[in-house]
Chains A and B, each alone.
Chain A
Amino acid sequence: MNNYKNKISYDSPCDSDNDWTNSSDDSKYSDSESSVPEWDSDVSEDGELVYIKTKINNETTDETKPPLLESCETFKLRNNFKRSSTRRSTKGRIFKVLKAHKSKNPDTGSKREHEGLPAASINKNKFNGDKFIIIQVSKNMIFSSEKNCQLEKLFGLSLETHADGKTLVVADFLTEAKLIYTPKIKKGYYLSKINGVEVNSYNINNILQRIIEDHNSPRLTFQMPTEGSYIDLERLLKLKNAPENSLTQLLKDSLCSVLYLCCNDIEYNSNDDKGVLYCYPRPFNQNFLYNTRGAYVTLNHLAPKSLGTSEPTNSTVLHNNTLINITYTSHYNDLLLTAFPNKQVDLFAAKKVIADIVRLLEFLYGSLKACFTKPNNVDKLDSLFSRIFVTLIINNKGSKEDGSKNVGLYLEDTLAAHSVTLPLEVKVQVDDAIAELESADYREWTDDIENFQRLYTVIGACLYYSGHLLSSHLQDEDLKEINAYLRLNGVLKLSTDKELEKLVMWKEVFIHEHRNQNKNEGNEYRVLDGRWFLLTVGKGHFILSTLMEAGGCTEDAVGITPPSPFYVEECESCLELLYDVGLHKYLGTWFCSNTQPQVETSPEYLTKYGRKIRDTNTLRPDSTLKTSTLKLTKSLSEKRRHNSSEQINVGSSNSDMNSLTNYGSHHSLYVHTYNTQKYRNSSLDVSYSEDSNSLKSNSEVSEERVQGRRADREQRNRRDSSGSDSDWERLDGSRASGSMDMSDIRKSLLNEMNHVTTHRITAGEENVLFHFVQLESEKGMLIAPVKNIEMQANNVLYSYILKTFRSACKQIHDLLQHSIRFKKNHAPSNPLNKILVAVKEHGMLFQAPLETLSQCGVNKKNTEPYLFWVVGRVFSDPEPRELYLCYHESVPQDLTEVAYLLSYLE
């Protein structure tokens, strides 16, 4: 095909930093005319860079949406290839071909995303219960709902779920009903009560059912969302000066604080502030930690010297009726103190967080001392700590008005980098892309390799999607530090909450290996005395962090080192590559699919009563589609906002009917794994028709000559594509790859999605697994179901189970640490409890309270108690690995076996 010719025109050498942008004529990138990258002006004086551009119209977490929503976004053609050359390895051909083809295609879809979504941005965080507005809707009125949605029929409005997964938010009004509601009610208001009964996404279906039977006109109570204390992390990340006073005040009020003081006499006396080198939030005299520092410093001295104990690790204090956790970190004679309110960061989390903070500071500055004594660094530290506190405390506050139910920090996040299991093929793709970035094989780009010395060696990279680690090619310690850097700076949160248009961050760092070797001089295999830089690029929900080394075989970095556009491009194209294989779409569905391993998100099905419900559901042929009115309305309304002109209700009415048939019998607002396919079917057609100009792609495919087994596969795929579950195929076509290789890869990815094999790791006929965490603390990684699984489940009982699981895990984890510490160090300085070091498994059996069960519809009188286990076990060889499992009591599980099965999924 003609595409192959384009390859020849790639001549972007790397000998000059300017050549790469305008090297090729097929580059359509807006900035490509100038050789200056768009982030150039944001590079600060010391060479650091934080450049973030998010997509404006993306308000909520994308991964919570079912795939059909995602498709709107992702259908836009990506022809903004900046560089002509991307990858030159064996597989690189594929992408070149694709790119060349794409460049011929006019931009079709990208415009769409800019219209649509009105600024119905919901304040996600707090709302006080002051303002209620009551509207009575006449029972006589029946609104014509084109989606056949009960809610719309009754009230003439459509709802969506709030980011907290529970609260109902007004999404849209039907035209007939608009007069009833406006101007009192606006989009984004919360529906709090119907006929005086509190509603949430769990019980809405039941309540609607009751209203249908009731003859009185329903009374709806709405609540106005109030301005919360949500702080824009994006702005904070870009911040170059000290954070504003309002934020400082807020942090002061929330009683979080950090203090660094040196305790040796010389510095103590020479320093104006009695040895205090850093304190935030300021002013000093209003910082309670500063005011009471004497107590901690004394204790820190006293404990090891006079009491014979170790240095204190943390104190819990009561100040102004707030329980605060204070942590101690000694650095030679100096002391770093941090304080977190117990409500948001409990003792367990505080211990983990301080380890992360220390890691982060050492990573960024080499040592704690260097961090706090570096000249003119106060503003930087201020903004760093404000980000840390905002990430940990402010933006983590519970989103519901009842303060008792505090979200706190996710257990998974505090422990390690949250990773997910991916199918092998996907993993290979991801690793491949990163490996190619790391290999930096530029041979084909330039002929005179001899004259061209590289600026940096890539020593490792890690890739995140929506805050989940997909792959890491880093050393364990580096990963831990980079994870701390990304998490505490809020980058991961940002990439989860918003879709990034572009993110580039560049920072000089001090890697663990180099920091620690200074102590033992004269090692033959020392790490060279170079400089290291961390380059983080983001796109969509992807974050790619690359650790680069200057010195040694590469050029020495001297003085202020701004990011090299070439390497930024390299990383960006690595992400492009992942986009090209459709990974973003794939992951979108994968994260919603709950397959590897599958967890039971409707725990009530495991009771006798629940089984009955399920059986009746499955008996009815149509009712397998377990969509609920609510979710559907949300997705559809959103869709409408995207492309209001189009007729979109192609397949939705029938699914709506389905949802009506099993009305009230379930609580899951989301589709079940098995049903995703069908669900998608009905809606993706829409997008497909939009991209009509690319229909021909399939025929192009057939022109290609293929032989052997691949031909077989192609054939099969094509046959599939005309079959029932073909949308992925068509979708591929619409994404306009005329190339054989491209579709080949995609199909291999997407076919898999079509027949998802759901894996189970628990024994027994039914899936009794609710949740699991596999922690490899040495590696700094853990595997667990996706973060929003609770939201996907949307089930009171499941939320209860998860909450119990998390608090039980903390206890179990603490207990198992005895064994891990003992194995690590056989003669620890502080003797360990002899009994506890032998414990390798600890389990707890819990009973779900009746109220929770009845909320789930299991309210028969003589129900057997609902019991579930939370079990943790440590496997000590070769490295300590902890597995935590939460499962229904009905089938006993062997954790060794589960761990074994789980290892097969990895």
Chain B
Amino acid sequence: MSVIVIAVATESGVPIFSRKRGNNESVQFSTIASLHGINMFSKCHNLSLIETQVDNGSILWKEYCKRFIFSVTLIGIATGGLECDLELLLSSVNDAMIFCVGKKELENLKNIDQIKRDLRQCYPILDYLLESLDPNAVSSPLPTLLLDLIQSILCPQAHQLQQALDNYAESVTGRWACLIIHGHLVATSSDFCELDPREARLMLLLAAAQDGAPLRDTPVYFPQMSPNVAFRAVTCKLLADVYILVVCGATPALSQIDEIVLQCWEGYASIIKEAKLGFPRNFPMSITFEPCVLGVLIVNINKRRCVFSRHLHPSNQKGRGMSGAHRMDILRTFYITTARELAPELKHKGPSNGIENMTETYWCSEYHKCHAQRLGNILCCGLYASSVQLHTIRLITNQILQDLNTNKDVYW
């Protein structure tokens, strides 16, 4: 598998950056020029290349900020049996670019060298995005598995933590705050949902990218909400692998925030530790799973949040022959290729494939079975042992969904 993302200044053809993941060679300058030339040429002929497929992969051109003459063309190339939505990747890359430098800068492109330098700070985020496509990276410490969903942990403490976050946000005169454990979203302030899910996802990536720093503030532009005016995002490391992130104004200086954090969070250490125990199971202990369920992916469609879990059973039976990372990859691939059809609202426009009103879908492979069902706002993809019969699987998935809807410990 390999994926390459190239950004080129549309007008001048100057390459801005090129990021890649996988075993391919870096793209040469002349190749970038040719690729850009193809796009420019076809544009001259009133033709826009939507997508090009190659054997086991695809090539995509995408231009954003179309209202202005100066803009950036993104070129994406994916090969080697990589199942991914290249278009989604490119729009996420574009979001990340705006997130870091702001839309105005990107559109003006007055000083390309400056932009290039500025964009360097979003490389970690871009790399995380690319990594999220790589099946080999599933076992990495901060997994980002899906491009368009926020990976979360469901825990009963989320409600208490929300109050703490609200309190914290208020004291730093900010609005949106969230708590992140192991790169997973655990709790949010009550206003957090005002952010676009894609923006929220970028915040998470930002926190992941700033791994290690105890307290740090970064100017960020929200692609949807305020692409031109920067906000101040403050990340603060509470415990190992536990971060709080807040978006606030300029006023409380970083040193002041340090004190506020202490005040606000001192009393919550035990709760956070409790919540942290939920990882890597990612589900409240009150939700139990049948032993034949090898892994599960729950998607909250409205909030664009998902919960992966492969450690469902307390007794760690690892003798199933399938590594945990592989299970995640199966579920991820199942979701991307198949189960996403169950939630048409998650898909962005494109030529419709005529599949409507699907309610369930499944795969049988030689080693496992996957089944997905949607109930209202929740989509459940389950990975099962291959010996389980389909009707049993359907029952179990349905049961999980019912369980999630009724369980009081589930707090999205």
Scoring A residues 291 to 304 as 1 if CB is less than 8 Å from chain B, else 0, what string do you get? 11011001100110
Which residue of chain A has its CB nearest to the CB of B362? Answer: A843
Task: Name the contact of A840 in the complex, choosing from B1, B35, B364 (C-beta under 8 A).
Answer: B364
Known contacts A316-B50, A841-B364: does B34 contact A306 (CB below 8 Å)?
yes
B363 & A841 in contact (Cβ 8 Å cutoff): yes
Interface readout for B66-92 with A: 1 if CB under 8 Å, 0 if not?
Answer: 000000000001011111000000000
When the two chains form their complex, are residues B358 and A844 in contact, meaning their CB atoms are under 8 A apart? yes
> Which residues of B have CB within 8 Å of A34?
none
Task: State which of A193-201, A420-428, A655-663, A800-808 sits at the interface with chain B.
Answer: A800-808
Cβ-defined contact, A306 with B59, below 8 A: no
**CA A307 – CA B59 in complex, angstroms?**
10
Q: How far is the CB of B47 from chain A (nearest CB, A)?
A: 5
With contact pairs A804-B354, A846-B357, A892-B390 given, residues A298 and B34 touching in the complex (Cβ less than 8 Å): yes
- A846-B38 contact in complex given A292-B45, A310-B54, C-beta closer than 8 Å: no
**Chain A minimum-CB-distance residue to B83:** A833
Q: In the complex, which residues 516-570 of chain A have their Cβ closer than 8 Å to any Cβ of chain B?
A: none
Q: Determine the chain B residues whose CB is within 8 A of the CB of A231 once the complex forms.
A: none
Minimum C-beta distance from B1 to chain A (A): 7
- Which residues of chain B from 323 to 340 have any CB-CB distance to chain A below 8 Å in the complex? 329-330, 333-334, 337-338
Chain B hits for A295, CB < 8 A: 38, 41-42, 47, 49
Taking a contact as CB atoms under 8 Å apart, the answer to whether B365 and A832 are in contact is no
Given A308-B79, A804-B355, A807-B354, is A842 in contact with B27 using a C-beta cutoff of 8 Å? Answer: no
A849: chain B residues within 8 A (beta carbon): 357
Whether A314 contacts B358 in the complex (CB less than 8 A), given A291-B45, A836-B83, comes out as: no
Interface residue from B37, B83, B356 paired with A804 (Cβ < 8 Å): B356
Are A834's CB and B390's CB within 8 A? no
B15-46 at interface with A (beta carbon < 8 Å): 24-25, 27-28, 30-31, 34-35, 37-38, 41-42, 45-46
**In the complex, residue of chain A having the shortest beta-carbon distance to the beta carbon of B24:** A308
Q: Contacts A295-B38, A319-B46, A831-B80; is A807 near B355 (CB within 8 Å)?
A: yes
In the complex, what residues of B have CB within 8 A of residue A834's CB?
Answer: 81, 135
Question: Contact: B50 with A303, CB < 8 Å?
Answer: no
What residues on A are CB-neighbors of B367 within 8 Å?
Answer: 838
Tell me whether A352 is interfacial, beta carbon within 8 Å.
Answer: no
B63 interface hit (Cβ, 8 Å): no
Type the 1/0 row for A253-273, where 1 means its CB is closer than 8 Å to any CB of B: 000000000000000000000
Known: A309-B57, A833-B333. A811 touches B355 (CB 8 A): yes
Given A299-B59, A310-B56; A292-B41 close (CB under 8 Å): yes
Cβ of B390: which chain A residues have Cβ within 8 Å of it? Answer: 843, 892
Complex interface residues of chain A between 688 and 717 (CB less than 8 A to chain B): none
Task: Decide yes or no whether B111 CB sits under 8 A from chain A.
Answer: no
The answer, yes or no, to whether B353 is at the interface (CB within 8 Å) is yes
Q: How far is the CA of A320 from the CA of B48 in the complex (A)?
A: 10
Q: Min CB distance, A463 to chain B, in Å?
A: 33
Known interface pairs A808-B355, A840-B365, A843-B362. Does A314 touch B83 (Cβ–Cβ under 8 Å)? no
B351 CB–A CB distance under 8 Å = yes
Q: B37, A308: Cβ atoms under 8 Å?
A: no
Of B52, B135, B351, B368, the residue contacting A346 (CB under 8 A) is B351
Query: Which A residues lie at the B interface, using CB under 8 A?
Result: 288, 291-292, 294-295, 298-299, 302-303, 306-320, 323, 342, 346-347, 803-804, 806-808, 810-811, 815, 818, 830-836, 838-849, 865, 867, 873, 892
Please list 26 pairs of residues, one from A and one from B, whose beta carbons are closer than 8 Å in the complex, sorted by A's number: A294-B41, A295-B47, A298-B41, A306-B28, A306-B31, A307-B59, A315-B49, A315-B53, A318-B48, A323-B351, A804-B356, A807-B355, A810-B354, A818-B81, A830-B81, A831-B81, A833-B83, A833-B333, A835-B365, A840-B366, A843-B361, A844-B355, A845-B358, A846-B358, A847-B359, A873-B364
B residues at A contact (CB < 8 Å): 1-2, 4, 24-25, 27-28, 30-31, 34-35, 37-38, 41-42, 45-57, 59, 77, 79-83, 135, 329-330, 333-334, 337-338, 341, 351, 353-368, 390-391
List 9 extra interface pairs beyond A319-B47, A810-B353, CB under 8 A: A298-B37, A302-B31, A307-B31, A310-B55, A315-B53, A317-B49, A804-B354, A810-B354, A833-B81
